Structure 1
Amino acid sequence: MIVNRLLGNRRDQIDEDAFDEMTFMVESGSDRIGALDFQRSPTDYVAREAEEATLEELQTFADDVDAGRPVSPLLDRVILHGSSIGGARPKALVVDRGAERPVKLIAKFSATNDSFAMVKAEFVTMRLATRAGLDVAPVRIASVAGRDVLLVERFDRVLEKDHWNRRAMVSALTWAQEHELAAHHIAYTDLADLIRARFGRVDATLRELFGRLTFNILVGNSDDHARNHAAFWDGTALELTPAYDIAPQRRAGRQANQALNIRPGERDARLALALEAAAAFHLSVQEARELIDHQVATILGSWGELSEEARMAPVERAFFEGRQILNAYAFEGYGAAPSFPPAA
């Protein structure tokens, strides 16, 4: 989007050498995720803020980005800060002033080439994770021009009287001090080691991370790479942020792998493998099984209600049941795979 703003219809004239990392830092929005901002001056702070947008304007922006079209000047101003969010899907930042207190949100849009109901599925799995006892960013779902939009509350901003305070946060790449291109070997058990060394509330944090691992397996979220785990940093200690980006992913066959290793060199998306690693999270096998079984029961008990809230059609529900969510492969070596109850 920065290229669109700087060049517009002249993007075919781009000089790649002119767009270095510094360009993207100083041209990105000031309300970027986390606490950092980048300025041209060492003494004068000039915030690069955007006008507030409606959801309809945000959907138009998402359609333009999705189609590779230059963004209109109006939407360019409105959604300047969206470029700092990252990720593969169209997103933007927005403030909801309709509640008792303003809430900052990330808007995640459905795309024209979605092969399944991705936004609805992420809404449901994020809500299921909350009901299962995990610390998860609050979400809601909206419809804009007949398209689904997931609204995720930001946890890196805190409203204090009339201004927003920033919360510093770092991804697991930073905890592990790894470069993104060399991070394929990071495992959940490595993150557990780092939690023991650098986090507060160690036992509770380890249990939370283990719960996120097993829930990812249960709902087919294989996109659990190191950037999808984050922690707040207060200058002294680290603390897990609420979980985010919990969403079923495309599945080609019976087997599946997690993006992050469960143990070094082992990433099979199976509960049995997670169970073997339970001790690294200060959990006994029995405690780990109880946690997993509670998650399974929550999914089975709340799937119907939440899929109705997301306005999933029966064919959309059937697409996920037993395929991405509660897939039989996840239960190999653990126990019998459960079956979804018939729709009411």
Structure 2
Amino acid sequence: MPKMLSLSELQRAADDVAEGSDVAIKRLLEAGTGWLGGARPKASVSGDGGSLMIAKFSRSTDERNVIGWEALALELAKRAKISLPRTHLLSVEGRPVLVLYRFDRLIGHRVGYISAMTASGLRDGEPADYLDIVEAVEDVSRQWRIDCAALFRRVAFSVAIHNTDDHLRNHGFLRAEAGWELSPAFDINPEPDLAVRRQTAINGVTDADYEAEALLDLAPLCHLSVAAARDILGEIVEAVVHWRDLVFAMSIASAEKESVGSVIDIQLGRIRDVFRRPL
């Protein structure tokens, strides 16, 4: 078990790391950050009753409220019926900190977990497609039809908020009694630049201009009828369209509301166009 430090200490250490402090790096490694991966500073922290959580910190150099937007995205994902870990958005010395309960840990023992990269047999740097994850679901999941539908819902949500950091290590499987099942979703962030392509293609498509249409091509490969896929798209739109209601609660500045929010509105419009087309 890594050494547990206070969130204030960890936030200060994360700031010092950005300035090149070797001491701060050591403190974060002691707290478990080195085990967790990803681009943002984070650490293992202990919750009530011994539960294990991950704390994700902002950087002093962040040009926008990345943590606030991730918290907003997770709340929208919950409203869109996507399985998620429990989360809390905290303010630590005036800075946002996102705390997530670890779904691969139960008090007293570890739950088996593999990434979609491991399950698909691919490696870092190799091109990937959601079809690779669908095949992995079909190969390993004990409830593969349910998980394929859940995966489609997640892809549609990522399109709606323009989440492009969707590489295969940001999807995974948890060990269940009778096999594996799709893990809760995590690392979901809106990307404010529509020109940024997603890291995992949707049936060959990585460009935001064509992702909504690619969803309908993906649907039958996820064992969904066109009608079922459109129902899911409608639910995604209904959940995400109310994103403005959450901006104040996440302490997101008005300027960011327009710059990031305009991308979400554009993506929602594209999805609406697709699911409203006659069968």
Cα distance per residue 1:30-83 (max 9 Å; x no partner): xxxxxxxxxxxxxxxxxxx3332111111011112222211259836852x221
Are positions 1:322 and 2:262 aligned together? yes
> What corresponds to 1:96 in structure 2?
47
TM normalised by structure 2 equals 0.90
Q: Number of matched residues?
A: 274
Are positions 1:245 and 2:187 aligned together? yes
> Kindly tell me: are residues 150 and 250 of structure 1, through their superposed partners in 2, closer, same or farther at Cα, counting changes over 3 Å?
same
By relative contact order (CA 8 Å, sep 6+), the higher-ranking structure is 2
> What corresponds to 2:205 in structure 1?
266
Name the SS of the counterpart of 1:321 in structure 2.
helix
Name the SS of the counterpart of 1:71 in structure 2.
helix
Q: Is the 8 A contact 1:230 1:240 kept in 2?
A: yes
Are positions 1:123 and 2:63 aligned together? no
For 2:166 and 2:17, the matched residues in 1 are separated by 25
Are positions 1:54 and 2:3 aligned together? no
Moved more, 114-123 or 59-68: 59-68
For 1:72 and 1:198, the matched residues in 2 are separated by 41
Shift of 1:308: 2.2
Are positions 1:230 and 2:180 aligned together? no
Q: Is the 8 A contact 1:53 1:78 kept in 2?
A: no
> What corresponds to 1:194 in structure 2?
136
Question: How well do the aligned residues superpose, as a CA RMSD in angstroms?
Answer: 2.4
> What corresponds to 1:64 in structure 2?
16
Give the share of equivalent positions with the same residue, in percent: 30
Shift of 1:205: 0.5
TM normalised by structure 1 equals 0.74
List gaps (5 residues or longer) in structure 2: none
> What corresponds to 1:5 in structure 2?
none
For 1:250 and 1:59, the matched residues in 2 are separated by 25
The aligned amino acid for 1:60 is: R
The aligned amino acid for 1:177 is: G
For 1:319 and 1:236, the matched residues in 2 are separated by 46
Shift of 1:221: 0.5
The aligned amino acid for 1:331 is: R
Are positions 1:105 and 2:47 aligned together? no
> Kindly tell me: are residues 187 and 72 of structure 1, through their superposed partners in 2, closer, same or farther at Cα, counting changes over 3 Å?
closer
Q: Is the 8 A contact 1:272 1:333 kept in 2?
A: no
**Rg: which structure is higher?**
1
> What corresponds to 1:277 in structure 2?
218
For 1:221 and 1:51, the matched residues in 2 are separated by 33
For 2:218 and 2:30, the matched residues in 1 are separated by 47
Q: Is the 8 A contact 1:132 1:298 kept in 2?
A: yes
For 1:215 and 1:148, the matched residues in 2 are separated by 24
Name the SS of the counterpart of 2:241 in structure 1.
helix
For 1:310 and 1:333, the matched residues in 2 are separated by 26
> What corresponds to 1:205 in structure 2?
147
